[in-house]
Every structure is written in C-alpha cells, then in structure tokens.
Amino acid sequence: MSNASSSPTVSRSGARSMAQVSLFAALMAVMGLIPKIDLPLGVPITIQSLGVMLAGVMLGPWRGFQSMLLFLAAVAVGLPLLAGGRGGIAVFMSPSAGYLAGYSLAAAIVGALMAVLLKGSPQATPRRIAVSAFIAALLGGLVCLHAFGVLGLMLMAKLSLVQAFKVTLAFVPGDFIKCILCALIVHAVARGLPDWRFGGRA
C-alpha cells in the first residue's frame, strides 16, 4: 500500500527534475541566439557561461550537470545552439573545446558549492542566497571553467601554459560581470519563489 501511494510522488518528482533539466538546456540554446564577440584563436565571448552558472545554483550539482550534458549532446549531433549558430562535432576540436568540455563539470561544481554554502539554512534570506550564488559562480563558473579553457587552448591551439593563461584573462572581466548577474537573478527568484531548492538542497 505504501509503495502504491509513494509512486505518484516519485513520478512527479522525476518529471519535475526532467522538466528543469530540459528547461536549462533550452535556456542555454536561447542564450546562443545572442551574438558572440570573436577574439583571436577562435575563442569567442558569449553569454552562455552565465547559463552554466545559473544551472548550477538553481538546479544543484547533479541536475545542473545533466542539463549541460543534454545541451552539449544536442550540439554534438549538429544542432546550431552555440553562439554564432555553431554546432557539430567540429566545435569540440576547436580552441574553445576546453570551455565546452568544462560546462557540465563547472555546473556541477557551482551546484555543489551552492549546496555547501546554504547547508543548514533551509530558510536563508534572499540576500544570503544571492551572495552564495555569487561565490559559487565565481569559484565554479569562472575559475573551474577557465581552467578547462586553458587546458583546451594548450591541447588544441598548441599554446604554452603562460600563453593560454594570458588568452583566457581576456574573458575574466566579462565573466565576473556574469557572476554578478547570476547573483541578481537568483536574488529575484529567491524573493519571488521562496520555496525554490537552490543548489538542490532539501
């Protein structure tokens, strides 16, 4: 009897998780419609790293990881979802491959950090949630993502560590602004949807 009564709850929870994963994968696709800014070496500036940060803080590590993996799978099969209408396997062989490969893990790290920062605070204020989102986005969505980017530049563009680090510095100011935008968006969501499970917390 208890199994029968819990089944609808499990189904609803699973359906909600799938919907959220799909929603943030779709959000990444929408962000891909915003024009990119091309830089030397074929690594463009795009808004999509903001989507990585939001997926982590809003969904938590596992669903954030899944949403980015779903998005990258769609890109890999040829859908032109990256900024500038790019898609297909070739983009994973380009100098920006490291950043793309880091999307899923960066979202997971952002989500894990968000969960840790909010641990023990089920009734955290919107301000605290926003500050936590900024810190999580900064460490996971900026530091982690750029670490993958540097590695990709070294492997695909054949740059030295110092050269790759200098290239990725061009993205840091813009990504810092994205961390602030992430915190502002999260603050608005926390005020409008106080029951939202940021970082996948219980």
CATH number for 133: 1.10.1760.20
What's the per-residue H, E or C state across the chain? CHHHHHHHHHHHHHHHHHHHHHHHHHHHHHHCCCCCECCHHHCCECCHHHHHHHHHHHHCHHHHHHHHHHHHHHHHCCCCCECCCECCHHHHHCCCHHHHHHHHHHHHHHHHHHHHHCCCCCCCCHHHHHHHHHHHHHHHHHHHHHHHHHHHHHHHCCCCHHHHHHHHHCCHHHHHHHHHHHHHHHHHHHHHCCCCCHHHCC
Domain that holds residue 109: 2-200
pLDDT at 131: 97
Average pLDDT over residues 105-134: 93
Its pTM stands at 0.91
- List, for residues 82-93, the tens digit of each pLDDT value: 998 999 999 999
**How many domains, the chain?**
1
Sorting pLDDT into bands at 50, 70 and 90, what band is 158? very high
Q: Is pLDDT of 193 > 50?
A: yes
